Amino acid sequence: MLMTTDPGDLVLDITCGSGTTAYVAEQWGRRWITCDTSRVAITLAKQRLMTATFDYYKLAHEEQGVGSGFVYKTVPHITLKSIANNEPPATETLYDQPEVDKSKVRITGPFTVEALPAPVVRALDDVDDADEDMSAKQTDWRDQLRATGIMGRGGVRLEFSRVEPLSGTKYLQAEAETKEDKPRRAVICFAGETKPLDSRMVAMALEEVERLHPTPQLVIFAAFQFDPDAASFIEDAIFPNVTLLKAQMNTDLMTDDLKKKRSSDQSFWLVGQPDVELIRDGRSKKRFKVKVRGYDYYDVKAGKVDSGTTANIAMWMLDTDYDGMCIAPKQVFFPMGGSKDGWNKLAKTLKAEINQELIGQYAGCESLWFQAEPGSKIAVKIIDNRGIESMKVIRLGDE
């Protein structure tokens, strides 16, 4: 970092891991972009960056910001030539030793987290084969679904005796039969590799479900990425006698050479729905807090949605004024942080500045009180220890 960049430069690390590059860039006043295919890596890096503290280095020109560089320690560089000629020695700047302003401490600057399924780039010659490619992919996904089923809570799988292509529909590409005492008919909507499942796709798929005879008992939306709106759409859709499920597809399915299908693979997971309670202050119509009770999980064995626990929630955040597009968290919680990690790490360094009692509350599953207008929307996003995200949007006044 120090050898190749200057303060204010932009550093890109395309394999984030635990976020060391971003952390070091932040430490040395560089800007950064980092990405990873692993949700676990992104979750770790997020917490690491949000709870880090750094020294404040004196700026060369305060009014110009970090791009002007730091004030560094310098040393005289005495050479034989300078002694022989009786010249004053040259000065060397120690770029790894900026002067620290002990009266200040820094935390990581604001950053955004954006999800993007891997784009597929084709050679021009291959463009015509795109459809063929997609159907090859779907054959692959169907085979995998047939071999591994969908992993539910506590290692229980929803298994299928057959998974076959479905014709005459566009958004439902496969049909299946569950391996149960009383087999159920399922239809599957695969979102595709290059885009998240969005609410338009969900609506189209549900329209197709309505036209199917006989009506399936299960509709499975399988995707690498769920648009938050689509997820809420699926959760809120009321379809008599039909259960709608979300299945997270493992990114390994994008990798051709991992094709060996073993029944022990975890290629599809059931995605839970956050169980969030809105609590209203009895004395004010505009004062609320939320309590996360955990994920609702679809219990494969019992065939019903079960309330999950909060044990595996690595991080959750609350946007108290959700714009329907992206979450701008006003409160962030690390329930699994323990006494050494999460916000406690930050609180320890900033002992005098931080209200220790309040920090304790940011480790739990209940938010702090917040003000919001009735009729506005709030959003709660929960990330579990596998890095799987799910989100709940609540319109105040609707509950």
133 binding ligand SAM? (CB under 6 A): no
Residue written as token pair 């900026």: 98
Q: Among candidates 326, 360, 368, which has minimal Cα distance to 342?
A: 360
255 binding ligand SAM? (CB under 6 A): no
CB of 257 to ligand SAM, least distance (A): 13
Instruction: Give whichever of 72 and 111 is closer to ligand SAM, judged by the CB atom.
Output: 111
Instruction: Give whichever of 36 and 227 is closer to ligand SAM, judged by the CB atom.
Output: 36
Residues contacting residue 357 through CB under 8 Å, at least 6 positions apart? none
Instruction: Give whichever of 17 and 303 is closer to ligand SAM, judged by the CB atom.
Output: 17
Among 5, 6, 9, 13, contact with ligand SAM (rule: CB under 6 A): 13
Query: CA separation (Å) from 50 to 47, 107, 173, 322?
Result: 5, 8, 41, 21
Among 2, 10, 12, 15, contact with ligand SAM (rule: CB under 6 A): 15
**Helix H or strand E encompassing 270:** strand 268-270
Query: CA separation (Å) from 159 to 52, 147, 178, 250, 251?
Result: 44, 8, 6, 17, 20
* Size of the chain in residues: 399
**By CB under 6 A, which span of 15-23, 126-134, 152-160, 382-390 interacts with ligand SAM?**
15-23
Instruction: Give whichever of 47 and 310 is closer to ligand SAM, judged by the CB atom.
Output: 47
CB of 17 to ligand SAM, least distance (A): 3
CB of 388 to ligand SAM, least distance (A): 15
CB of 384 to ligand SAM, least distance (A): 17
37 binding ligand SAM? (CB under 6 A): yes
Among 14, 90, 258, 326, contact with ligand SAM (rule: CB under 6 A): 14
**By CB under 6 A, which span of 14-22, 135-143, 167-175, 233-241 interacts with ligand SAM?**
14-22
**By CB under 6 A, which span of 29-37, 50-58, 189-197, 220-228 interacts with ligand SAM?**
29-37
- Name residue 232's beta-bridge partners: none
CB of 381 to ligand SAM, least distance (A): 21
- DSSP for 36-74 reads -S-HHHHHHHHHHHHT-EEEEEPBSSGGG-GGG-BPEEE
Instruction: Give whichever of 17 and 364 is closer to ligand SAM, judged by the CB atom.
Output: 17
Number of chain residues interacting with ligand SAM (CB under 6 A): 11
Q: Is 329 helix (H, G, I), strand (E, B) or coil?
A: coil
Instruction: Give whichever of 251 and 361 is closer to ligand SAM, judged by the CB atom.
Output: 251
Q: Are 372 and 286 in contact (CB under 8 A)?
A: yes
Residue number with the shortest CB distance to ligand SAM? 17
64 binding ligand SAM? (CB under 6 A): no
Instruction: Give whichever of 41 and 174 is closer to ligand SAM, judged by the CB atom.
Output: 41
Q: Is 134 helix (H, G, I), strand (E, B) or coil?
A: helix
CB of 16 to ligand SAM, least distance (A): 6
20 binding ligand SAM? (CB under 6 A): yes
Q: Among candidates 286, 264, 17, 273, which has minimal Cα distance to 151?
A: 264
Q: Are 185 and 144 in contact (CB under 8 A)?
A: no
Query: CA separation (Å) from 132 to 128, 129, 137, 139, 286?
Result: 8, 5, 9, 11, 55
Q: Is 155 helix (H, G, I), strand (E, B) or coil?
A: helix
Instruction: Give whichever of 203 and 254 is closer to ligand SAM, judged by the CB atom.
Output: 254
41 binding ligand SAM? (CB under 6 A): yes
5 binding ligand SAM? (CB under 6 A): no
Instruction: Give whichever of 56 and 111 is closer to ligand SAM, judged by the CB atom.
Output: 111
Q: Is 283 helix (H, G, I), strand (E, B) or coil?
A: coil
Q: Is 305 helix (H, G, I), strand (E, B) or coil?
A: strand
- Residues contributing to the site for ligand SAM (CB under 6 A): 13-15, 17, 20-21, 35-38, 41
